[in-house]
Amino acid sequence: MDSGLKGRIVAVYGSIVDAQFPPGASMPSVGSMLGVRTSMGEDVGLQIVEHRADNICRTVALGFTYGVGRNMPVVIRERGIVVPKDLNLLYGRVLNATVNPIDHKGEFDLNETIPLKNMAAASKLEVDLDAASKSQVIYTGIKMIDLLFPLVKGSKSGLLGGAACGKTILILEIIHNIITYQSGTCVFGGVGERIREGNELYHEFLRADLLKRSILVFGQMNESPGMRFEAALTAVSLAELVLAQRKDVLFFMDNVFRFVQAGSEISTLLGRIPSEGGYQSTLTSEISQLHEKIRSEKSASITSIEAVFVPADDMTDPAVVAIFAHMDSLIVLSRSLVQRGLYPAIDPLQSSANSLTPSIVGRRHFDVAHEVLRHFRRYDELERIVSIIGKEELAPEEKIIFDRAKKLQNFLSQPFFTAEVYTGKPGAFVSLEDTISGCERIISGEMDKIDESKFYSIGKIEG
């Protein structure tokens, strides 16, 4: 319900709008929402970001400001962004940052609503302090991830890579496999990505019959920075509301770097001085506020998997460093592996996972994973030598490790369900047992006489 107190627009600077309230009136708080109706009859939300002199509230528009002009009346939206009390109405729907449907399937019944942000923050669930001691692995069916970087329920995992390294197709495959073979609700936040990618994601969910357990929130590349920034916060708040119903949540975001970019655009529009690295001075606090909402409770948890764009493949970029400080697992995609056609193009030597311990995955899994990593490290050293003097100059034991490491590299690539239309190969979901036993057979020398090309982009080793 809107407040009776009204103000008026006094200035519009692109996505930044100044609204003035009558002298002596109590100002609405920072973070609260205002509303204005444009000359074209559209309602635009205005989120207050700071108070200024003369009873002026500076706001960020959650939408386009075409048709917003001076002296237009604004009202205070007391409850901010609201969602239907029955969250089941949201499943299978595509929403924008203000929880309005954008899938042309009709509006929600808003007779009974709850405020999104306040309810999410006030959900009184008990934090599970012993979550680490009873870690539950979530299997993705992707050999490289299940073997070397196992996903644990309630953890945060980042898929880091530059442009065209395969982040989106990998996150799509993880979503497809986890929701198909595991229980739980999926909340997907599409932040600052292309409309084409959102369209492909929606139709992939439709094809795989995953929509009935999914809520999709999009703030896309063509939208205002306010909408892109808010889309990430809305998605994670919806995940919190599902968590409050004692349900496990799988939270996916593509791409969290665009959330940072949107915050940087807003900061520039507000005239704030950037930090030394060129990003907004509030970079660390904004990322922290987003990630502190992703947590485990006594009876349920939010498991987060986020794609992170790495500008110019620079892993030392301040935004990337600030993001991966919150991650339990870092899965780094390599451009050199993409060029060699090894998908997923995960660089095992740059990536890391807190979950690869004997207490979580078991001694056999741990030992095989470390033996695989040892082969990869040795291969990385030998590859430089081979490129200069040739493989013939290696010692016999070095040749064996070099050949087995190439077979392991090929074996840990695999065809994806979500890439079938591009590759023509049917996708493969590979169990952990098949992955471990396949690696053991290669490491033990059982496969030494088989050509390495036979292991490329297959599922499990047959026979």
Give me the active site residues, please.
167, 193-194
How far apart CA 372 and CA 376 sit, in angstroms, is 6
Nearest to 156 by CA among 328, 309, 284, 319: 328
CB 427 within 8 A of CB 440: no
Question: How many other β-carbons are positioned within 10 Å of the β-carbon of residue 82?
Answer: 22
Nearest to 406 by CA among 435, 437, 382: 382
**Strand bridging mode 249-254 / 302-309:** parallel
In the chain, what's the furthest Cα-to-Cα distance? 86
Nearest to 250 by CA among 184, 181, 168: 184
Reported as half-sphere exposure (CB side, CA atoms, 13 A), residue 281 has a value of: 7
**Strand bridging mode 302-309 / 156-161:** parallel
Question: How many other β-carbons are positioned within 10 Å of the β-carbon of residue 394?
Answer: 17
At residue 70's C-alpha, the angle toward residues 69 and 73, to 5°, is 90
How far apart CA 311 and CA 324 sit, in angstroms, is 14
SS3 237: helix
How far apart CA 308 and CA 88 sit, in angstroms, is 30
**Cα torsion through 177, 205, 339, 422, rounded to 10:** 110
**Strand bridging mode 43-52 / 33-37:** antiparallel
- State how far the alpha carbon of 317 is from the alpha carbons of 84, 160, 238, 255, in Å: 40, 12, 30, 16
Burial per residue of 260-296, b for 16 or more beta-carbon CB atoms within 10 angstroms, e otherwise: bbbbbbbbebeeeeeeeeebbebbbebbeebbebbbb
Q: Which two tokens stand for residue 248?
A: 């496990």
- DSSP single-letter state for residue 297: B
Residue 412 makes CB contacts below 8 A (sequence gap 6+) with 143, 144, 147, 372, 439
Question: How many other β-carbons are positioned within 10 Å of the β-carbon of residue 252?
Answer: 26
